Structure 1
């Protein structure tokens, strides 16, 4: 009985399928049906981007080559054939994208004609590639993704930070800088003790003198402006530097694009309220622009004060700092250090989402470092350098 019922049901199902086929709801197909060739010449009706890449020219050689990085939040203007100008900011990949379509008339590039691109560098940056302005003619091309193409495409535009050494000296101080070429020059010190001097990449000596006290700093200028910690103006020599040098770039903490609280013991130091993440995990342009090595970067969690500390004294050599978000442009970073319970150092510097500054701290024999922002925005941090004992 059971076998007969099952067989009868199978017959009914087969009959139903056959009836559906007769009624035309299904039929056998051919290769031409399943893999049709496109008939070219008609308008696609779609869209594509016409783009320009802006990169950080880290070696300042005017060529987009290995080691260079995309630069986010750079203004790129597009002059259109009708005389109007529109602006787009570069994204986390360094591209300023303008939508192109012949049929979608609310896009940026819709008419054939002559178009001109112009990169507007942020304050403190200069073009290294000599092509801030570029031009091209666009023509209608039915069947292309946007039904329009550029007769010539854009070339990457490189930017590099204008290099300076700056800082704050005691009132009445004299500051002299000696460059890699051995030439020395005095820096102008303002009434508030602040000074800033344009420099070239390489090794520099900075000599301070005030009230009979002198101090010499050795500074390496690389890809970013350098901010020196304050000159104390006190007599006596500083403690000699500890012998073992370290640099942490936060790339060995994680392998996935998330956030990771930096644990105590990382790099032999203790960490509090500092988080590491992939530079593109958020939309903050400053994280992309501050990353100097690898793909990961650190920041003070939720913009609140963070600390690095150790039972054994360590030297804080310095680090790259930037503002994580463009809404925090000009945020003030406050750094304080202690030896035990005794305050030892304090400095302030301005942060930018456009790119980092290197803070040359040279804090000797400290046991605790506090990293704080005045308005509780996140400070991006990379290549944290320090020294420890043997």
Structure 2
């Protein structure tokens, strides 16, 4: 009986609901109510970005094309109609964003008029696209996301590092460089033995006379300035290079955001305190600006010394290096190598978050490589090149 009473009560409730709907207490809505059209012509009251893209012009052809990459931490100025200037740094995707709204008056672009953009390259970089300065008129457009539009949008601005070959030699040495065009020129060597000379892309010969004993280095200049390892001192490249060349870009270790400790055995070498991650996993501009191949980058974990080692000798050819964070601009990288317990090589050079340098190490027959930073900031590393035996 109880189940029957409950069933009857349910029928009564359903009938009551149906009757109320028929009487108009609830009714189905119209398509016009569910899908309202915008009443165009009124102000929207929202905001949107007006932006400019800065990219690394890796092939230096002045065109934003396949293979080019965003440049983080590039300064972009915006001159406003009232005569003031504001600056924004590009984000991890290479965009300098300025917020625009007619109604929200505390943003960067709020008044119609003439605006001018200007990209200010970091030291050691040049504009390749010829459009560092761009101008546009902005007009009120009620109903658009920010109620204002630009009559002309910006075009991407390409930057490329000024190419150089630099290094350290014994004081009093003579250095000459022969470029791809066959022209030879002497480089000025400072009192501390350091030298730096402008270069172009291609193959170069670096000849160093140290106490009458000439030494020659073959150097390939690509998209970044090149630092060569010390020509004199312990462990010069007297051994023949090993036959099998490898390059690891750390892209085959992981496929998702996050960090991944590089395991021993990767690429046939052993790794300690080196971590791989997606270039944009953090906000560090140096990780974006150092990445050369793929989307992943390596760094020394927590800024502490890292090692690459093997029981069998290997040659360290070189790698791209930068510093991960802008607070570490000018950090010093120290690279050391051993053959067994015997020190073989040692070099140091300055890193930047704005872009990478290629360290042409040419360390031969080593068993252990140490990578450390002087002030314990994280060094970004890509395209680690080395040679092994059979």
TM-score tier, shorter chain, comes to: over 0.9
Q: Distance in 2 between matches of 1:354 and 1:212?
A: 39
Say yes or no: does 1:294 pair with 2:294: yes
Deviation at 1:371, TM superposition (A): 0.5
Residues 213 and 235, structure 1, Cα contact 8 Å, conserved in 2: no
Compute the TM-score of the two structures, normalised by the length of structure 2. 0.97
Residues 234 and 344, structure 2, Cα contact 8 Å, conserved in 1: no
Q: Distance in 2 between matches of 1:199 and 1:154?
A: 31
What corresponds to 2:166 in structure 1?
A: 166
Q: Which runs of 5+ in 2 are unaligned?
A: none
What corresponds to 1:110 in structure 2?
A: 110
1:324-335 alignment, distance < 5 Å: 324-335=324-335
Compute the TM-score of the two structures, normalised by the length of structure 1. 0.97
Residues 80 and 114, structure 1, Cα contact 8 Å, conserved in 2: yes
Deviation at 1:6, TM superposition (A): 2.8
Say yes or no: does 1:250 pair with 2:250: yes
Deviation at 1:10, TM superposition (A): 1.1
Q: Distance in 2 between matches of 1:98 and 1:236?
A: 52
Change (3 A) 1:23 1:114: farther
Deviation at 1:36, TM superposition (A): 1.1
What corresponds to 2:316 in structure 1?
A: 316
Residues 263 and 270, structure 1, Cα contact 8 Å, conserved in 2: yes
Q: Distance in 2 between matches of 1:92 and 1:25?
A: 55
Say yes or no: does 1:33 pair with 2:33: yes
1:61-103 deviation line (CA, Å, top 9, x unaligned)? 0000000000000000000000000000000000000000000
Deviation at 1:14, TM superposition (A): 2.3
1:9 alignment partner, SS class = helix
What corresponds to 1:354 in structure 2?
A: 354
Residues 211 and 233, structure 1, Cα contact 8 Å, conserved in 2: no
Residues 234 and 345, structure 2, Cα contact 8 Å, conserved in 1: no
Q: Distance in 1 between matches of 2:282 and 2:235?
A: 47
Runs of 4+ aligned residues of structure 1 deviating over 3 Å after TM superposition are 15-26, 233-237
Aligned length: 390
1:217 alignment partner, SS class = strand
1:34-79 deviation line (CA, Å, top 9, x unaligned)? 1111111110111110000000000000000000000000000000
Q: More deviation in 21-30 or 52-61?
A: 21-30
Q: Distance in 2 between matches of 1:17 and 1:199?
A: 85
Q: Which runs of 5+ in 1 are unaligned?
A: none
